[in-house]
Amino acid sequence: MPQQVKRLAVVFLILGGILIGARHFLVPKTFGALGHYRAAAIDLNASKPLVYAGHEACAVCHPDIAKMHDQARHRTVACEVCHGAQEAHVDSPGDHKPPAPRQRGFCPLCHGYDPSRPTGFPQIDPVSHNPGQPCISCHNPHAPVPPHTPQECSACHGEIARTKALSKHAAVPCTTCHQVEEKHKIAPLLSTPTKPQAREFCGQCHSQEARGSPEITRVDLSTHGERYVCWQCHYPHSPELEDTE
Amino acid sequence: MSTQPNNPQNEPGSPEVRQDRRDFLKECVAASPLLLTILQVAEGAAASANDDTYKPEEHYYGMGIDVNKCIGCGRCADACKTENNVPREPFYFRTWVERYVITTDGETVVTSPDGGIEGFPSSVSEKGILRTFFVPKLCNHCADPPCVQVCPVGATFITRDGVVLVDKDYCIGCRYCIQACPYGARFLNPVTHTAEKCTFCYHRVVQGKVPACVEVCPTGARIFGDVRARSSPLVRFRRFNEIQVLKPQLNTTPKVYYAHLDGEVR
């Protein structure tokens, strides 16, 4: 074998040795054990300390509140939503006292009126709803109910009331179209209000023959959208006609 | 030892010593299976003592989001920052809430002031709104994640339980993954200068707890669980709702499943 080849072979061997040595020291130990990453990074992520203890931790020491809370409307609201992250309190209850939001600003984060919120979610206008009073002076946050039987429909159906108040139907009381039993105010789902069933109901005000103010929009019921009932096109709480006038 | 040379029996080359060594080696070989068995049994006992340890191969996680239930309170974004020590500045989010307003003019306005943590000031006149709703967003924990594909050093990866994680000790902060994520779910931590993202609260999940955002969601709009379980809240959610994922045309196979998602949501 020529000497040059032998020397070259030695050089390659040394370079190869350096490469293997460098790889041994530079590539992290667990790299490639589970894939193209450091397996130790999983433990790194998993070993972080908890900050939120989880609602199941609270019931161990506070069974009375937990029992009341779990049967009330706020049962899906975990303790730490209002009382903050409390793993520290679970670890040493004496040293860390959970805060309780007693001021007025906190509850409207969920219950302040917002048009983007889902229909039916209980919402109030924080400016006009008993201004100045803390929410907890009337509502028990662990088992919230209206403090007295509501007299106005808007107490529960705020979104509809607000929409209607801005519409052409603002002056029409809810009971013109809906018959409501007294029971509905106490057990809402056991007695639901009625809804108009036929086009002729709207026709009482809006047909050509109807008596009343000439400003009310009139249509000929026999030709106007005869295959449909009125509320398939018009939303009665905010009739769309107002925009086109 | 100083006494060794005086003892004739221990002198090298003496036949008795050679015999002893051979016997000793023979005994060793003969005993080795027994020894190995004992060692293995001991190891097995140690493993079974930690039998309740977390087994990643038995899980495959995903999240369900019911858009109809989201009230936009922002508690999820707030809890996420608390649990994971995310910088409080309004540019860094692992999860956040977007408000969509589709006007009667056909315009779509998306806002997310401070991720929704402080609520949403009403910016549009109520009269011009056609539809409006909130959409919580987070890392989609894609089964085919572009961020993992582009990482030049293997610092981001999918675990066996289907969670996309970042190795913060190994990340070089090149921001390539932040560019690659089509959902904008990653950011560069201003303190550590490494990429950061939602981990499904991996440290909570391995302890059998749910992620912090799911824990605090007051309306149950977020559902966490095992995608492959026979029965879990997530499986039920996916069975009884029409499910969509974000940007399905990108073939990233997201594991965050949306119900009642509007077509305008990107």
Query: Would you kindly state where each structural domain of chain A is located, as residue ranges?
Result: 49-88, 152-245
Q: Please give the model's pTM, rounded to 2 decimal places.
A: 0.82
User: ipTM score here?
Assistant: 0.82
**Residues B206 and B245 placed together within one structural domain of the fold:** yes
**Residues B39 and B158 placed together within one structural domain of the fold:** no
| Domain extent for B254 | 57-89+139-259
* Closest approach of B248 to chain A, Cα-based (Å): 25
Tell whether the torsion through CA atoms of A171, A176, A178 and A182 is positive or negative.
Answer: positive
State the average pLDDT for chain A.
90
Map residue A220 onto helix, strand or coil. coil
Q: How many CB atoms neighbour CB B51 within 10 A?
A: 7
Closest CA in chain B for residue A107: B73
- CB of B14 within 8 Å of a chain A CB? The answer is no
A37 to B204: CB separation less than 8 angstroms, yes or no:
no
Name the domain count of chain B.
2
Task: Determine the pLDDT at residue A6.
Answer: 95
**Residues B41 and B150 placed together within one structural domain of the fold:** no
Residues 209..238 of B with a Cβ closer than 8 Å to A: which?
Answer: 209-210, 212, 215-216, 218-220
**Residues B177 and B67 placed together within one structural domain of the fold:** yes
Q: What is the pLDDT along chain B (266 residues), one digit of tens a residue?
A: 444 444 444 444 455 555 677 777 777 677 776 666 666 666 655 555 555 789 999 999 999 999 999 999 999 999 999 999 999 999 999 999 999 999 989 999 999 999 999 988 766 677 788 899 999 999 999 999 999 999 999 999 999 999 999 999 999 999 999 999 999 999 999 999 999 999 999 999 999 999 999 999 999 999 999 999 998 899 999 999 999 999 999 999 999 999 999 999 98
- CB of B160 within 8 Å of a chain A CB? The answer is yes
DSSP A18-81: HHHHHHHHHS-TTBTSSSSSBTHHHHHHHTSPPS---HHHHHHH-HHHHHHHHHSGGGGS-HHH
Task: Determine the pLDDT at residue B44.
Answer: 56
Pairing between β-strand B95-103 and β-strand B108-111 as defined by DSSP bridges = antiparallel
**Residues B182 and B158 placed together within one structural domain of the fold:** yes
Do residues A191 and A181 make contact, with C-beta atoms less than 8 angstroms apart? yes
Map residue B115 onto helix, strand or coil. helix
B215 to A50: CB separation less than 8 angstroms, yes or no:
no
Do residues B264 and B100 make contact, with C-beta atoms less than 8 angstroms apart? yes
* Closest approach of A1 to chain B, Cα-based (Å): 42
Query: What does the DSSP 8-state code read for residue A219?
Result: B
- The C-alpha atoms of residue A98 and residue B10 are separated, in whole angstroms, by 76
**Residues B38 and B144 placed together within one structural domain of the fold:** no
**Residues B222 and B188 placed together within one structural domain of the fold:** yes
**For the domain that residue B185 is a member of, what is the CATH number?**
3.30.70.20
**Residues B72 and B177 placed together within one structural domain of the fold:** yes
Task: Determine the pLDDT at residue A113.
Answer: 86
Exposure letters B207-223 (e unless 16+ CB within 10 A, then b): eebbbbbbbbbbbebbb
- The C-alpha atoms of residue A185 and residue A175 are separated, in whole angstroms, by 14
